[in-house]
Structure formats: C-alpha cells, structure tokens
Amino acid sequence: MAKRPTPRSDNLRLALAQEAARIMAEHGIGDFLLAKRKAAQRFGVEDGAVLPKNTEIEAALAQYQRLFDGDSHVESLHAQRHAALMAMRRLREFEPRLVGAVLRGTATRHVPVQLHLFADCAETVAIKLIDLGLAHEVTENRVRMDPGRVLAYPGLRFQIEEQPIEATVFPPEAIRQSPVSPVDGRPMHRASAAEVEALLASP
C-alpha cells in the first residue's frame, strides 16, 4: 500500500516546487527535470517520492513570475509572442504552430520561442529562411509522441527581432497528432497564428 503524504512531505514538495521554479526563472532553465534535480540537491533530498510534478513546478513558476517579475515578465512574454507571430507569418506555407512555455505564458526571458512546422523536408524550410535573409542553424529535436515513443525530427534555430526561435519540422501528416507535453503528459496544445494574434490582443 502506498504511503499517504504527510503534512511535512507536502510542505517539502511545495518548497521543492518553489525552488525549482526560482531556478527556472533566475537561471533560464527550461528543463523541468534539471530544475527539479537542482532543487532536490539544494535541499539535500534523495527521496524521489517527494519530488513535485511538472505541473506543480509550472504553477509555482507562474506564481513566482507574478510576484517577482511583474511588468517585466508581461513585457518579455509579449515580445516573445510578437516574434512568434512574425515568424509564423513569414513561414505561413508550413502551417506553423506555437507550442511550449511562450504559448502557456510561463516562459522566462531566456527561453526560445518553440514552433512546429510541417513540410516534406526540412531543407524546404531552410531555403525559405535563406530567401528571407534569416541566418539559421540546423539541429535535431527529440520529441515524445506518446509515453513509449520518442522520435527525432529535424530542427532549425534562427532569430526574429532578437528573439531566439527553435522550429521543429514534422511531416505534413503529423499536424493531426500532437506530441506529448513535458508538463502534464497530455497532447501538446498547438496554437495557430490566429490564436497567437488573439493572445497579443488580450489585456
């Protein structure tokens, strides 16, 4: 029988979530597992059972940003979303979708904008970037499609308005199946350009 959480373990779990959130906010770490491990190390915690879930860390991160970053977070998030929209408009033939922390609203200023693009080959996207005069770097991104399947897809890194963009290029049919979110394990939400426009227009 699994142990029931005690008030002490609940308090420790919350403290770990808050520390992991602080680490992500202050050090620009976008990896939940890495932030979680650093928080556990700082607290001297070795029991994995008390480590917080990614959803708990993200909630603590949102609270941290409201309390300590205030207007600066709002401004940096707006800049990231504006850069995302600019990139999506320029790459509209690849049906771009915004994903990740910039979409969810918990991105730190250090986190790159994450886009999903859909094309028969990544070279087509690279040629488009060259035509647009955008210097880029070719990468490879590993994406979890379901709990037991991780696939490697080509990626491209470039900048729009000094904002780093990381684009993962999927085959066209993959637009119908979203990868698994690293935060809650559910299908990742992908936002169209129209949805990003609506986010930018909202107060």
Q: Has residue 2 been placed in a domain?
A: no
Neighbours of 109 (CB within 10 A): 15
For the chain, list the strands marked E by DSSP: 97-99, 113-118, 137-146, 149-160, 163-170
Could you give the CA distance from residue 188 to residue 146 in angstroms, rounded to a whole number? 11
Q: Has residue 148 been placed in a domain?
A: yes
Could you give the CA distance from residue 103 to residue 98 in angstroms, rounded to a whole number? 6
Q: Are residues 102 and 194 in the same domain?
A: yes
The domain that holds 184 is classified in CATH as: 3.30.460.10
Res. 151: pLDDT tops 60: yes
Write out the residue range of the structural domain in which residue 178 sits.
Answer: 73-201
Q: What percent of the chain has pLDDT over 90?
A: 71
Res. 23: pLDDT tops 90: yes
Q: How sure is the predictor about 98, in pLDDT bands with cuts at 50, 70 and 90? A: very high
Could you give the CA distance from residue 54 to residue 31 in angstroms, rounded to a whole number? 10
Q: What is the pTM of this model?
A: 0.84
The total domain count for the chain is: 2
